[in-house]
Structures are given as structure tokens and as C-alpha cells.
Structure 1
Amino acid sequence: MHRTQQLDGALGEGNVAHTAMSGSGTTASDDPLQTAVWRLRSRGCWSDAAALLAPGAADPAVALQRASLLIERCLYTEQGWAEAEDALRAAEAIAQEDDERGAAACERGHLAYASTLLGVRDRADEARAALGRAAALIAPSAPGRPLLDYRRGLVAQNLGDSPQAARAAYHRAHAGATAQGDALLLSATWRHLAGLALHDGDTAQARHGFAESLRLREELGYLVGTAPALVALADTEPEPEATRLRAEARRLFQLLGGVPTWLAARLAPPAAA
């Protein structure tokens, strides 16, 4: 599996904070602050989005949402680890209810997973332990469960080399995201189930999943996650469609200032013969 596919699986996930915003941040129940946060997040402006939340960070849900945004920045830019860690510790310190502590543990596991996957520091044991704590605190029917299932799938696939366990976790997350109408998380589950299908040699199923993932991200306006989705779909398409998709991905990558950083190698022009 391409490193791009592994990393994209860690990105573009659903609710940044389970109780603070919808998958798109633009549903009828969202307030203007959440809409502004979503618009900044979707364009890769995580620091600006986090700054909007800072005045309300005494609230556990807001503090966790802010930490989640900064963790997502780490995944796309491979920078900002200390700030994300500080924000997460602050959120952990004020979490009181089981669902708040569980959500914080889920983010702790995700940060540790990202650090391991990106080669910053091996924190695989911490990732597994934190997600295990989250599973004990977040009820099976709770809103945060699909995201937790998804992240446990990531760890199983990319740190544990257990595709069967990963597939089962992704299917649980997929069903939960569908039931909750979390389109952004659904785009991620489509993406990773497609990646497993491609690994198994089922190109048609992989193409379908990658196309669904791309469609959802485009409908949501999730620009920062669109270029990786285009590249993933290109891996299953014949020419000239594959070249067209990669060219569109390169345009978006440049428009967003070279984010996600790890996509650069996949988008470099082929070397001259």
C-alpha cells in the first residue's frame, strides 16, 4: 500500500469533536462559529480555526475540538506536535463525564498513532492503550463510537498489520457514520475499505469506494482532503483518466500551499527517460 493511502486514511475524518460540530460544520443546527471553524478547517487553516475556539476552551467539548484540529494539522503538515500535545492535555484536564474522558482518550490514541505513522516517535503502545480506554468509556450507541471504531481500524491495519481486524472495524464505523449522517467520516471509511479491496486485487470495488469517498469530499467542500482522494482514485483508473485525476490533484495541492506535505512525492512529475 502506498504511504499516501496509509496517511490519507488518518485524515479527513468525521466529527472533530463528537458533541461540538457536525461532519461538515454547516448543518441547520450549527452556529456561525462552527460554520466558520469548518470553512477554515476544510481549507487547511487549522491554526486559525483553533484560534476561533480558544475563548471558549474552558468548555470540555470546545477544548477537545480545538485539540482535535491541531492534531489534524500535525497529520497534514507534519508540524505543530507540541502545540497539539498542550491542547490535548488541557482538554484531558477538564474532561469530567465518561463521554468527555472517552473522547479525549480517543484523541490521545489518534495523536500517538499519527506520531508513530509519520515516524516522529514510536508511540504504538500508547495508541492502543488510549483507544482501549476510549472503548471502555464510550458506549456502543454513543455518537463518538463510529470515529473510535474507525481509528481502531487504522491502528489494526497500519500498526498491527491485521487487515481482517481493520476491515471489521471499518465496517462498524461505516455503518455508524451512515446512521448518523456523518458524511466526512463516511468518506474516510469508503476510502479505507477501498484500499483493502485494492490490496486484495478487487480493482472494481476499490474504484467504487474511492469514487464515493471523492464524491463526498467534493460535496462537503473539504478541499484539503480532496487531492489525496483524487490520487487514490487515479490508482484504479486507466489512462487518460488517471493522468487527468493526478493533474487535478496537483492543482489543488499547489493551491493549498503544498498540503498535505506527504502527498508531494506522489504528485511529482515523472522523471524524463
Structure 2
Amino acid sequence: MAHPAMSGSGTTAGDGSPLQTAVWRLRSRGCWTDAAALLEPHGGEGPTPAAALQRASLLVERCLFTERGWAEAEDALRTAEAVARSDDERGAAACERGQLAYASTVLGARDRADEARSALGRAAALLAPTAPGRPLLDFRRGLVAEHISASPQSARAAYRRAHEGAAAHGETLLLSFTWRHLAGLSLREGELADARHGFAESLRIREELGYLVGTAPALAALADAEPEPEAARLRAEAGRLFRLLGGVPTWLAAQLTPSAAV
């Protein structure tokens, strides 16, 4: 399987508030359930749209890494949809629904390809071209184009839009995903220099951010573009991280051998 990709959204420790710093630290180590629990409302108050959306995003990402927790993610997503008020909030919730349906499809849980396309199309209608959530939407439309519709040319165009938007909005983690997926397309086309550069940039960003749970996949991706013995060294390092995190992401195991190139 090609890399199914993670959410690419959410906060990093650089966002400043103690709550968001705690959420990021848990998320970056693969503790999505614990991170989501920090965002649950207390004292009988209902969830805010922002907290509900972030909680849903975390649980959708858990599905992508662990191939489980689908029902919990669906429940959190319905809550985010119910409390959304503005077009931006409704568009962001639709974007998460599209991502959950995409993950279910590419990981073989249930074919929800039509739902993924429909939800992302709805998000595109709701989010203005300059909205902060637009780069993530473009990225996810690229994922659907590449891994569901088998249209690498459309995927590349969407990834490039996402890459430019992520740079403009300072979405550093999303940049690591756009670098990686653009590099994956370059690798498929035999453009090794571009592939190595993109994969290396993706890895650099994740290491700088401390995105531990995403570092092993980045190492494995770079290994696919490197000659031996460097490729073996990178896969061995990825394997150590993979085992340290308890075999997460689950789909990475097959890519930690030389025959499992993108």
C-alpha cells in the first residue's frame, strides 16, 4: 500500500497555550485518546465548535494510524457537525468527514469512496479560497485523487495548492505532508533527486516539531528513494521507532522491507 497519510492538521507545541501544548505532546506520541479527553467539555457545558472539531480530528487520525476506533471517531464527528455554526466550521467538519471516509476506504475497513468525494466537495463549497482550512482540504482532495481515483496528475496539482497554502498560512506540519506526497509522486515517475529532497524536507520538519509518531513513516519514505546501504540504515531506524510506539502506524510494517517501495 502507498502511504495513506495522516491528518496533517491540528496544533503543535508552538501554539503556546498550556492546553494546546499538552494536546500536541500527547498527539505527537500517538496518545490520541488521551489528547481528545483533554478537549472534552466539563461542568455540564456543551463543547465549543473549535474543541469539538479538534477532538474529532484527533480521533480520525487515530483511525489512520491504528485502523481502529472508527465508531468513536464517527461519534466525535457528528458532535462537531452538530455544533458548527459558521460556514468555516461546517466546512472544516465536512473536511474531517471526508478524511474519515477516505481512511476507511484506503485501509479496507469499508468502502466509503463516494462519501469521501461528496464530503470534500461540500467542504470546498463552504470554505472560501483564502480560508485557513483550505490548504488542508486541498491536500485531502489530493489524497483522494491519488489513492482512490488513481489520478496522479490531479493529485499533484492539489498537493501543490496545499503546499503553497500551507506555507502562506504557516502550517508547518501540513508542509511535511505535502513535501512527502509530492516526493512520492516524483519517486513513481523516476525523479529521484526531487523525491529525495521532498522526503528529506518532510523528515526534517517532523524531527524539528517533535512529531514522533510521524517520524518512522518519514524515515521509511526516504529509504525508498535512497540507495543501499543508506536505505537499510533508514529502515532500521524506522523499525526501532515503530516498535517503540507499539507497532504504530499499523500499515508501516509492510514498508520496512526493501521490497515495499512506494
- Relative to the length of structure 2, the TM-score reads 0.95
> The residue matched to 1:96 in structure 2 has which SS?
coil
Number of residue pairs matched by the alignment: 256
Residues 171-215 of structure 1: CA distance to partner in whole angstroms, max 9, x if unpaired? 000000111111100000000000000011111110110000000
Q: Which one of 151, 169, 178 corresponds to residue 162 of structure 1?
A: 151
Q: Is the 8 A contact 1:207 1:233 kept in 2?
A: yes
Partner residue in 1 for 2:48 = 59
Structure 2 unaligned regions, length at least 5? none
**Residue of structure 2 equivalent to 1:265:** 254
Question: 2:6 corresponds to which residue?
Answer: 11
Higher relative contact order (CA 8 A, sep 6+): 1
Cα distance change on mapping 1:157 and 1:134 into 2, 3 Å:
same
The correspondence for 2:94, drawn from 105, 108, 132, is 105
Within-5 A mapping of 1:17-56: 22=11, 24-27=12-15, 30-55=16-41
Distance 1:144 1:33 in 2: 21
Quick check: 2:176–2:203 contact (8 Å CA) kept in 1?
yes
Q: Is the 8 A contact 2:7 2:99 kept in 1?
A: no
SS at match of 2:41: helix
RMSD value over aligned CA atoms?
1.4
Contact 1:6/1:158 (8 A) holds in 2 = no
Residue 76 (1) aligns with residue 65 (2): yes
Matched residues in 2 for 1:155 and 1:267: separation? 24
Deviates more, 1:105-114 or 1:51-60: 51-60
Equivalent residue for 1:199, pick from 188, 194, 210? 188
Q: Which amino acid aligns with 2:143?
A: L
Q: 1:268, CA displacement in angstroms? A: 5.9
Measure how far apart 1:266 and its partner are: 2.4
- Residue 12 of structure 1: CA displacement? 5.3
Look up the SS of the partner of 1:212 in the other structure: helix
Percent identity between the aligned chains?
75
1-structure distance, mates of 2:73, 2:79: 10
Match of 2:210 in 1: 221
2:108 & 2:40 partners in 1: Cα distance?
29
Structure 1 match to 2:111 = 122
Point out where structure 1 has 5 or more consecutive residues left out of the alignment. Answer: 17-21
Change (3 A) 1:242 1:136: same
